[in-house]
């Protein structure tokens, strides 16, 4: 109930305050495990993607743990089963990865940003290998989504969100797993950046 209300308010906000358009909602699988992977330009990206993808199906989000301490926002994140990640850990937050694996094994949809943090320049960044690990571990399909126009939010005018087509990445038994984590992450980021808006 609360999540539906927040999604509705977010849609009203984006459509009412910006030149806001979305494409590719028909590409979102309605059921089954799914990783939705997007580029990250501002704090507007998660609600902009989530409120529209939520017209098809709800998703869990991976969010930095610091946000869970923000009054109100932290309550909402916990209520909606957001997954906290500790970005300060040098070799990755295995607790967060384990929770995402569990969600995917239960056929849930999870939204992630492979770059791991917002771009400070508005340009694409190199992806972290965590999303590659998740694909390798679960075999979950990946839906790339590209967002444009949110860099500098809220002082922007035109925002575009476009969902691409689902990727099914295959293991290569001749390569070490860690190599494939990086390879998958790069393939996913390339697919995001190649979406034409």
Residue range 80-91: average pLDDT? Answer: 70
- B/e letters for 106-122, b = 16+ CB within 10 Å, e = fewer, are eebbbbbbbbbebeeee
Q: Which long-range contacts (CB under 8 A, 24 or more apart) does 135-139 make?
A: 135/35, 135/169, 135/184, 135/188, 136/171, 136/177, 136/180, 136/181, 136/184, 137/101, 138/33, 138/101, 138/104, 138/105
Contact 197, 162 (CB under 8 A): yes
Helix residue ranges, H only, the chain? 2-17, 45-53, 73-79, 94-105, 130-138, 177-194
Residue 29 sits in a domain whose CATH number is 3.40.50
For residue 38, the SS3 value is strand
Q: Output the average pLDDT for the chain.
A: 92
Query: What is residue 56's DSSP assignment?
Result: T
CA 108 – CA 32 distance, rounded (Å)? 6
Domain span at residue 165?
2-194
Instruction: Return the pLDDT at 92.
Output: 59
pTM of the model: 0.93
Strands 34-38 and 158-163: unpaired
pLDDT tens digit sequence for 113-149: 999 889 999 999 999 999 999 999 999 999 999 999 9
Could you give the number of structural domains in the chain? 1
Percent of the chain with pLDDT over 70: 96
35 has pLDDT over 70: yes
pLDDT tier for residue 67 given thresholds of 50, 70 and 90? confident
């Amino acid at each position: 109930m609360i999540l539906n209300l927040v999604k509705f308010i977010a849609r009203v906000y984006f459509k009412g305050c910006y030149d806001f358009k979305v494409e590719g909602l028909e590409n979102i699988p309605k059921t089954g495990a799914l990783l939705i992977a997007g580029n990250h330009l501002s704090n507007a990206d998660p609600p902009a993607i989530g409120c529209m993808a939520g017209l098809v199906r709800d998703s869990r989000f991976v969010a930095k743990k610091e946000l869970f301490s923000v009054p109100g926002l932290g309550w909402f994140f916990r209520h909606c089963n957001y997954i906290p990640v500790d970005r300060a850990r040098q070799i990755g937050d295995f607790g967060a990865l384990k929770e995402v694996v569990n969600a995917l094994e239960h056929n849930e949809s999870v939204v992630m940003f492979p770059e791991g943090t917002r771009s400070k320049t508005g340009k694409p960044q190199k992806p972290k290998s965590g999303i590659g690990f998740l694909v390798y571990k679960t075999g979950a399909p990946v839906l790339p989504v590209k967002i444009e126009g949110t860099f500098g939010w809220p002082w922007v005018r035109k925002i575009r969100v476009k969902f691409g087509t689902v990727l099914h990445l295959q293991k290569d038994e001749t390569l070490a797993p860690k190599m494939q984590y990086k390879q998958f992450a790069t393939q996913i980021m390339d697919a995001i950046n190649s979406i034409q808006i």
